[in-house]
Amino acid sequence: MLAQEVDSRRVHASRAELEAQLLEIDQVLNSPGYSGRLRANRRAEADLIRLRLAEGDLQVGDQVAIHVVNEPNLSDTLAVSPGRVLILRGLPEIPLRGVLRSELRSYLTERLKTYIREPEIRVETMIRLSIFGAVGAPGFYQVPAEALAGEAIMSAGGPLSNADPARTVVRRGGVEILGREAFADALVSGLTLDQLNLRAGDEVFLGQRRSGLSLGTVLPVFSALTGLAFFITTVF
């Protein structure tokens, strides 16, 4: 499947793209022409990006579906193990610290060259998220990193009748990392979970509407983003 582009960026942000985003954010932070709220939001986004660049994306509990052509013993869906390593059958542990999702295929290819001649690899990464609040089936889910923010909500049973996407936040370790405005913008813009800089353990909390807002004003936000089934982008 060909890689789809969202917001003019790949569904998995490359290191160069993340570094370019930091430069854009710095321009906003150094300009007096933006509101304090916008500057605070962009500063928080910059912190998430710097963390990704320093530590990588793959966290304990994430899943990696790996297919090695003509190597069925190495093709499997594996959980990232403690120590942030990937354990393929019969091979030494593969450390993942510092590796971005966009780098994983090429990184694993280089690692496997020690054991396999010219390995051909396809990978898909899943993020372990908790999705709570006004959703039909709150709980913990493995969601494709390339899924849209709205698709993540749908994986938890979709919004309830009292859901309000405009009151949705994302928390990490109890600390809000994406506020209401940022998540609402992500829904409208069609950003992927990767583009939102999410990682394993993050909590998406779908807010509840206040009186006076009908379900008819809530569901179109999601239907616009989730009319298609989950798209699964194979990294080549």
Alpha-carbon dihedral sign for residues 158, 58, 91, 236: positive
Name the more confident of 234 and 125: 125
pLDDT at 64: 96
Right CATH for 128-226 from 3.10.560.10, 3.40.50.1820, 3.40.630.30, 3.40.50.40: 3.10.560.10
The rounded mean pLDDT for the chain is: 85
The CATH superfamily label for domain 63-124 reads wza like domain (3.30.1950.10)
Q: Of 13-27, 29-43, 200-214, which one has max mean pLDDT? A: 13-27
**pTM score over 0.85:** no
* Domains 63-124 and 128-226 equal at CATH topology level: no
Confidence of residue 69 (pLDDT cuts 50, 70, 90): very high
Domain residue ranges in the chain: 5-55, 63-124, 128-226
Q: Is residue 227 within 8 Å of residue 158, measured between CB atoms?
A: no
Q: What digits encode the pLDDT tens for the residues 167-215?
A: 999 999 999 999 888 888 888 888 899 999 999 999 999 999 876 544 4
pLDDT at residue 193, rounded to an integer: 94
Q: What is the pLDDT of residue 20?
A: 95
Q: Is the pLDDT of residue 14 over 60?
A: yes
How high is the pLDDT of residue 211? 62
The 10s digit of each residue's pLDDT in 123-176 is 999 999 999 999 999 999 999 999 998 999 999 999 999 999 889 999 999 999
